[in-house]
Chain A
Amino acid sequence: MIPNLKTDQKLKRFYMNRRQKTLLTIVVAAIILLCVVVGGALLDQDQIATNLTERNLAPSLQHLFGTDWLGRDMFNRTIMGLSLSMGVGLIGAIGSTSIALILGMAAATMGKMADRLISWLIDLFLSVPHLVTLILIAFTLGGGFKGIVIGLAVTHWPSLARVIRAEVMQIRSAEYVQISRQMGKSRWWIATHHIFPHLIPQLLIGFMLMFPHVILHEAAVTFLGLGLSPHEPAIGIILSESMKYLSSGMWWLAFFPGLCLLMIVRMFETVGGNLRLLIDPVRANEK
């Protein structure tokens, strides 16, 4: 439209299109991630040792996020918590993506019965609230690291599986696949050579969009007391411990760790969402 043209030209110098913005976000996200991971690996228990002379300090330059009731530095605890949460989230999201890939491919290629069965399975997992499923699985496995990872992997795949199923259906009916089949290639060969390469972008984006949710759910279940054990410095643990000290006005115990979690989650969501818009042929040329 013509009125838009005018505004486009007088846009500020720092105008960037979506590709550039996404690239910038990815770079920033990568740097922060690297810091968190390296920080989490470098810091060990000594850094969050109890120091009873410095208890309950409000945030200052020395302790950016303040200290808790045992004099542990909240900044270090938060970094360790974040790297732990992201590790758990990463394993959970990879597991979930693999399940989605396998089931989505199976639903689309293995005939009608498999398709029905898998769509029934998807409904099954969507019909119980995620958090309740997680509580159930954590209960079954007795909580802890294993319980939470398996729970996360098992609960997040359905929507991605649907996307992959639709995608495979579409590719399967393409001419080159039909010809390939006529030429006597086996199903497995077609699946690995023709179908899978087309799925990689969907998988990547599905993973990017799933990852923040997995982290959030991990923190939520841990917060409820059914996830990682209280000795681990996870974000959920930090926040649930902070609840006891809220009434005495120690807001920094809850505020900063949660804010960091929010930032990480938000960043992944932005990158994933932008990437999805970029590969969507209908909307890729939007600003």
Chain B
Amino acid sequence: MRKNAGVKIGSFILMKCIRMLTLLFAICLISFLLIKNSPIDPVQAYIGADMLKVGPEQRERIAEYWGLDQPVIVQFLNWGSALLKGDLGTSMIFRRPVSEIIGERFVNSVVLMLTAWVLSGVIGFVMGVVSAMKKDTWIDRIIKLYCYTLASTPTFWMGLLMLIVFAVWLGWFPIGLGVPAGVLAEDVTIADRLQHLILPALTLSVLGVANVALHTREKLIDVLASDYVMFARARGEKGFLLFWRHGLRNIALPAITLQFAAFSELFGGAVLAEQVFSYPGLGQATVEAGLRGDVPLLLGLVLFSTIFVFAGNLIADIIYYVVDPRTRESRTI
């Protein structure tokens, strides 16, 4: 029986991955075509300010060097075959391999996103629980008001407010950048990095709370209205013990899954927060690439963010599949 379950989950994951591969291929093709149709001329973007010094012959040479003079489909095949070998091309603005830049930026971003993710998950969960246990009291009202308001707050505005309050008025934190300016890379200490991390992470956490909290609240209210909780209440259980015995396990799973499935919003939020705090992460690289017409980097980042989101969704699905037997029957791939 156990072996059977293993095979089942194996095929489940396999099907998911096959579906992902078709999606990934389509995204490659579509984003490639989109970018190729852009009015921003990549040669022009590459030359940038040196426009006057570069003659037409040299332009052709550059186009040839990047393979830009060939038909789009040939370009796509070239790019695709290089991609399969793990070569994402060379970034035009950083003049370095794209995979290297993504790797480096990813480390920065992942610290930021992970902090925000864990913080918002835990705080949101606790808030949701408190709000549901104290339903219709003032604390519930405050939490609901907070969540509904925060759910419609623009991320970048929150970041700006944080900057105004903590960096400008109180002067506790530096105004931007991932590391202090004018310090050699080797001299940057962990404390420095932490200090630059706090504000963006705080911004993302404060905003990310809303979704989990509201969702947990709804679920817990449903659980609390169930017969077994009523019976437990009749036996005299109440407060924390009641929640611990009957509530926690029922609502922890949806909350965790929700957090994993929210990778897409997390990435979007990180793009904005990184831009506001000029934090050198993936999001900022995406904006730079978009603004300055860096085609290889932009393509690489689109692919990377897709894989990132997919990983989150896959983990959410697997957790559901493994832990909650009810979904196995009804869930189609």
Decide whether A and B assemble into one complex. Answer: yes
Given A135-B286, A262-B152, A262-B154, the answer on whether A254 and B27 have CB atoms closer than 8 Å is no
Q: Are B305 and A142 in contact (CB under 8 A)?
A: no
Binds B, one of A74-82, A94-102, A178-186, A242-250: A242-250
Q: Which of A123, A137, A251, A261 contacts B34 (CB 8 A)?
A: A137
Given A216-B154, A226-B291, the answer on whether A140 and B37 have CB atoms closer than 8 Å is yes
Q: Are B156 and A220 in contact (CB under 8 A)?
A: yes
Given A226-B287, A247-B175, A254-B160, the answer on whether A130 and B153 have CB atoms closer than 8 Å is no
Given A129-B268, A220-B154, A226-B287, the answer on whether A258 and B309 have CB atoms closer than 8 Å is no
A223: B residues at CB distance < 8 A: 154, 156, 272, 275
B272: A residues at CB distance < 8 A: 131, 220, 223-224
Q: Are A128 and B148 in contact (CB under 8 A)?
A: no
A242: B residues at CB distance < 8 A: 160
Given A249-B168, A270-B148, the answer on whether A254 and B298 have CB atoms closer than 8 Å is no
Q: Which of A127, A141, A212 contacts B27 (CB 8 A)?
A: A127
Separation of A220 and B309 alpha carbons in the complex (Å)? 20
Q: Are B154 and A132 in contact (CB under 8 A)?
A: no
Separation of A239 and B167 alpha carbons in the complex (Å)? 17
Separation of A140 and B26 alpha carbons in the complex (Å)? 17
**A interface: dominant SS:** helix
Separation of A219 and B305 alpha carbons in the complex (Å)? 21
Given A127-B27, A129-B268, the answer on whether A139 and B298 have CB atoms closer than 8 Å is yes
Q: Are A246 and B168 in contact (CB under 8 A)?
A: yes
Q: How far is the CB of B221 from chain A (nearest CB, A)?
A: 11
Separation of A120 and B169 alpha carbons in the complex (Å)? 50
A251: B residues at CB distance < 8 A: 164, 168
A262: B residues at CB distance < 8 A: 149, 152-154, 157
- Residue on A nearest B282 in the bound complex, by CB: A132
Q: Are A224 and B35 in contact (CB under 8 A)?
A: no
A232: B residues at CB distance < 8 A: none
Count residues on chain A whose CB falls below 8 Å from chain B CBs. Answer: 42
For chain B, which range describes its interface: under 10, 10 to 19, 20 to 34, or 35 or more residues?
35 or more
Let me know if B23 is at the binding interface, CB within 8 A. yes
Separation of A269 and B151 alpha carbons in the complex (Å)? 9
A window 203-224: CB within 8 A of B: 212, 216, 219-220, 223-224
A window 25-71: CB within 8 A of B: none
Residues of B near any A CB (own CB < 8 A): 19-20, 22-23, 26-27, 31, 34-35, 37-40, 148-149, 151-157, 160-161, 163-164, 167-169, 175, 264-265, 267-268, 271-272, 275-276, 286-287, 290-291, 293, 298, 301-302, 305-306, 309-310, 313
User: Considering the complex of A and B, which 4 residue pairs feature the smallest CB-CB distances, nearest first?
Assistant: A258-B157, A131-B268, A265-B152, A142-B39
Q: What are some 6 contacts across the A-B interface (CB < 8 A)? A: A129-B271, A136-B302, A137-B34, A266-B148, A266-B149, A266-B152
Residues of A near any B CB (own CB < 8 A): 120, 123-124, 126-132, 135-142, 212, 216, 219-220, 223-226, 239, 242-243, 246-247, 249, 251, 254-255, 258, 261-262, 265-266, 269-270
